[in-house]
Each structure stands twice: as C-alpha cells, then as structure tokens.
Amino acid sequence: MNFREYKKLVYSDFYRISDYTGIWTFLKLLFNHEGFTYTFWMRTCNYLKSKKILKLSFYIIAKGILRHYKYKFGIVIPFTTKIDSGIYIGHFGQIIVNGNSIIGKNCNISQGVTLGQVNRGNKIGSPIIGENVYIGPGVKIIGNIKVGNNVAIGANCVVTKDIPDNAVVVGIPGKVISYDGSEGYVNRTDY
C-alpha cells in the first residue's frame, strides 16, 4: 500500500462520518469518535507495516496504540483484515471480526457484531461482505457466508446462508423479508 492509497482509505472512513472534511473536524473525530479512532489506527498500522524504515519505529508505536483502543473500545478487527474504503462503526463495543474476513466498500458495522470463522463442516472459512452493506446491532455471521451488495441485516440476526444482492434479512436464522436493500442506512458514499 502506498501513501496515496492509505490517505484515500482514511479520508473515505472520515467522510462517511462527517460531510465537513476540514482538519479541525478530522482532529475532533480522531479524539472523540471511537469508531473513527479505531479505524484510523487500524489503517495506519496496515500502512506502516509495509514500510521497512517506518516498521522499526512508528509501526511499533501505532500497533501499541491500536492494541490500547482494542481493549478500551471492545473492537477487535485485525489491521491485516481486507477492508475496502468507507467503513463506518457508529457505536463501539463487542465488535469481533476474524482476520480472514473480507469487507467491501461502505460497510456499516454496529455494536455487538461478530464476523467469525468456522473450522469444520460445509461452511469452512470466514464471511465475505459485499458493498454498501448495513450490519445491525448484535448480528452474527459465522463461516464462509457471502453477503451480497446493498444488503441490510436487521438487529440480532444470525446469518447461516448466503444473502443475495439488495436483500433485507432478519431473524434467527436470518430470512430474506424483502429486496428493498440498504438504501437509507448506508449514507455518504460519494467520496
């Protein structure tokens, strides 16, 4: 990852939270918005790890800061996880993402979400989340589940099967109740 790609990822995460993108707003969010603070340090660790000179100095500091926020906010998303631009964490607390998961552009992750790995059975692997996906509070997606684009997953849903594009899924186990998608839940995607 080069600096331009890193800057684009941080900017897209920032823009998803605030439509005013000045430096003061950036600093305010960096120190006051738990979700952005975590994603900023997660992206920073990922960038610094790939730079040989910076890896020996700033990377160690950034990794320590990220570890601190992991325990403080209850967010466990390894910085090596493949996450595209525009991730939005609205509320912190008990967010667990397996490092082998793949998350597409403009994903909203709420509190209490688990994206976990299965080690046996017919769903071996980790979830693959599409673009413009809203994942409600308490959602559990475990195993090699593919979530399509523009999907909304309701609160406390347990997803056990692949979800097609534009679906709205609720319940335990998750069932598609409509194809209205995530419009209105995923905002500020025009960065």
Q: Please, which residues bridge with residue 116 across strands?
A: 142
Contact present, 98 and 126 (Cβ < 8 Å): yes
pTM of the model: 0.93
- Averaged over 104-126, what is the pLDDT? 95
Each residue's pLDDT tens digit, 130-183: 999 999 999 999 999 999 999 999 999 999 999 999 999 999 999 999 999 999
Could you tell me where the DSSP H helices lie in the chain? 3-17, 23-32, 34-49, 52-55, 58-73
Could you tell me where the DSSP H helices lie in 18-142? 23-32, 34-49, 52-55, 58-73
Q: Is the pLDDT of residue 56 over 80?
A: no
Query: Measured between alpha carbons, how far is 155 from 170 in angstroms, rounded to an integer?
Result: 7
Domains and CATH numbers, the chain: 1-75 (no CATH), 94-186 (2.160.10.10)
Dihedral angle sign, alpha carbons of residues 129, 130, 131, 136: negative
Query: Measured between alpha carbons, how far is 83 from 99 in angstroms, rounded to an integer?
Result: 10
Axis crossing angle, helix 34-49 with helix 23-32, rounded to the nearest 10: 100
Q: Give me the percent of the chain exceeding a pLDDT of 90.
A: 89
